[in-house]
């Protein structure tokens, strides 16, 4: 016969020498296990000064969160920051929010992220951001997306060939100061009207800071708000930020 193991059976029993220390137990709000409060992360406002979920559950949640887009982006950005400090390099020239916009507006991110999910979150498939010129720090004109390992060659070939974005993707053209110039319903149309090679436009769309024909290019269409601000000069930072770049919905 099996001996029934109760929750109490796993609790530490302490001898009389510990009588001065009273163990406090708490039920974890996630796994419902009764554990001594040392097994809970500290939290000032929580009951007994600890959080409601135990350390193991917190850790599990954290690992799951790291697999979400937001979690991954945050992890990549924090790594860039700490890596720069470790190497005595300047910290990234962009904020986490700016980085998030950059990465979410990059179609490569979606492709790499889906692959990573499909792989069952294999380490080798994690989307990562590398510096193009190793001697320079993290800035939008010096970073590119790739997988941790194998897909990097393939993805780069796609970038080089300009096949990452199909020719029907709408694009927006900006001058060197990021002033709106025109929008096109497809890269093909952009090529026809500007005479700038479609593949170069595609490459410029994929790498922030990269130009084609002397212009910056972004994938997408202007929102109504952006149209208004560009046409009538109504421009607030918030409105501009809410437009292109935030395709992560």
Residue ranges of alpha helices (H) inside the chain are: 55-66, 69-86, 96-104, 107-118, 151-161, 187-194, 198-206, 224-232, 237-241
At its nearest, how many Å lie between Zn ion and the CB of residue 32? Answer: 7
Indicate which single residue of 57, 129, 155, 207 sits in contact with Zn ion (rule: CB under 5 A): 57
Binding range to Zn ion, per CB under 5 A, among 57-65, 83-91, 117-125, 233-241: 57-65
For Zn ion, the binding residues in 121-160 under the rule CB under 5 A are none
- Binding marks (x or -) toward Zn ion, 1..40, rule CB under 5 A? ---------------------------x-xx---------
**Strand partners for 25:** 36
Of 30 and 156, CB closest to Zn ion: 30
At its nearest, how many Å lie between Zn ion and the CB of residue 28? Answer: 3
Q: Which of 109, 153, 104 is nearest to 128 (CA)?
A: 109
CB 193 within 8 A of CB 185: no
Neighbours of 59 (CB within 10 A): 12
Binding range to Zn ion, per CB under 5 A, among 16-24, 49-57, 107-115, 179-187: 49-57
Torsion sign (Cα): 42, 47, 51, 57: positive
At its nearest, how many Å lie between Zn ion and the CB of residue 27? Answer: 9
Indicate which single residue of 50, 54, 159, 207 sits in contact with Zn ion (rule: CB under 5 A): 54
Q: What is the DSSP letter of 37?
A: G
Q: What is the DSSP letter of 234?
A: -
**Residue numbers at the binding site for Zn ion (CB under 5 A):** 28, 30-31, 54, 57
């Amino acid at each position: 016969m099996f001996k029934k193991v109760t929750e109490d059976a796993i609790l530490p029993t302490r001898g009389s020498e510990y009588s001065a220390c009273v163990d406090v137990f708490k039920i974890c709000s996630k796994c419902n296990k009764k554990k001594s409060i040392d097994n809970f992360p500290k939290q000032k406002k929580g009951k007994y000064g600890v959080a409601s979920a135990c350390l193991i559950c917190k850790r599990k949640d954290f690992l799951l969160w790291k697999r979400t887009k937001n979690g991954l982006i945050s992890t990549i950005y924090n790594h860039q920051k700490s890596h720069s400090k470790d190497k005595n390099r300047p910290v990234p020239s962009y904020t986490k929010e700016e980085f998030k916009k950059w990465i979410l507006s990059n179609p490569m991110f979606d492709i790499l992220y889906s692959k990573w999910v499909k792989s069952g979150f294999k380490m080798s498939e994690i989307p990562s951001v590398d510096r193009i010129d190793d001697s320079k720090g993290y800035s939008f004109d010096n970073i590119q997306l790739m997988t941790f390992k194998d897909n990097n060659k393939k993805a780069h070939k796609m970038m080089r060939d300009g096949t990452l974005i199909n020719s029907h993707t709408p694009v927006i053209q900006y001058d060197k100061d990021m002033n709106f110039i025109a929008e096109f319903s497809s890269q093909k149309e952009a090529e026809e009207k500007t005479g700038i090679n479609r593949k170069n436009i595609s490459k410029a769309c994929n790498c922030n800071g990269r130009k084609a024909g002397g212009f910056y290019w972004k994938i997408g269409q202007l929102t109504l708000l952006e149209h208004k601000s560009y046409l009538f000069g109504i421009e607030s930072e918030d409105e501009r930020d809410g437009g292109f770049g935030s395709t992560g919905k």
